[in-house]
Amino acid sequence: MKRSFPYCSRRRFVGGLTFAAAGLWTPGVFAEELARTPAQTEGPFYPDRLPLDTDNDLLIINDAITPAVGEVTHLTGRVRDRNGRPLKNAVVEIWQVDGNGVYLHSQTANAGKRDANFQGFGRFTTSSTGQYYFRTVKPVAYPVRPAPHIHVKVKQGDRELLTTQCYIKGHPGNEQDGIYRRLQDPQARDAVTIDYTPVQDSRLRSLAAQFDIVLGRTPESR
């Protein structure tokens, strides 16, 4: 079975993004609590049958040599509590449509167009500094959701701590999307709307996106 995409290997792509704010981890830096990442609906397409490969590289399934179609994206972030403390050993899950707008789910309406080379779902256990990493494709819109998005769930042990979604900053479909529009607070919208920026000198013209997650009360903070 394919190994998880090595966490250290992505440093050549997004090391600056991940570690530039290292000072934020210093205890006591946060004079005020961080704004909590808003919860959003899980939706109907959390995989009803998990793939055999559930690692953090969604572009390659097991030992296949053909990658998924789409704009390669390195999605990184940190999971913290509202006081800025990192949450280690939490499991971050993501799921999304492939480059054709199809979910990995038996009830998806357009299953015949599904990219068989796209994993559709992945997991990553956060590091001691709360960091996670996925290699995936930039999400695309599909008929009932004009705002491209990635679903994200954070778990620790048997507890689900947060389910949310992250969106593409500046995408015209955001304001047409009913679920996105439910976020009335500008700060809440900013928390789940992220930039996708070209990775300098990337041979594959990859993109980098950073989605930091701030939880409310966590098992470690109780």
Residue 2, pLDDT above cutoff 80: no
- Can you list the domains of the chain with their CATH numbers? 8-215 (2.60.130.10)
For 195, the token pair is: 């930039």
- Phi-psi group of 180: left, alpha or beta (phi > 0 → left; psi -120 to 50 → alpha; rest → beta): alpha
Query: What is the pLDDT, as a whole number, of residue 20?
Result: 39
User: Residue 6: pLDDT band by 50, 70, 90 thresholds?
Assistant: low
Q: What is the pTM of this model?
A: 0.86
Residue 16, pLDDT above cutoff 80: no
Tens digits of residue pLDDT in 46-77:
999 999 899 999 999 998 999 999 999 999 99
Tens digits of residue pLDDT in 188-198:
999 999 999 99
Tens digits of residue pLDDT in 139-159:
999 989 999 999 999 999 999
Query: What is the pLDDT, as a whole number, of residue 143?
Result: 87
Other Cβ atoms closer than 10 A to 221 = 12
Tens digits of residue pLDDT in 111-142:
899 999 999 999 999 999 999 999 999 999 99
Q: How far, in Å, CA of 151 to CA of 46, rounded? A: 9
Query: What is the pLDDT, as a whole number, of residue 119?
Result: 97
Residue 82, pLDDT above cutoff 80: yes
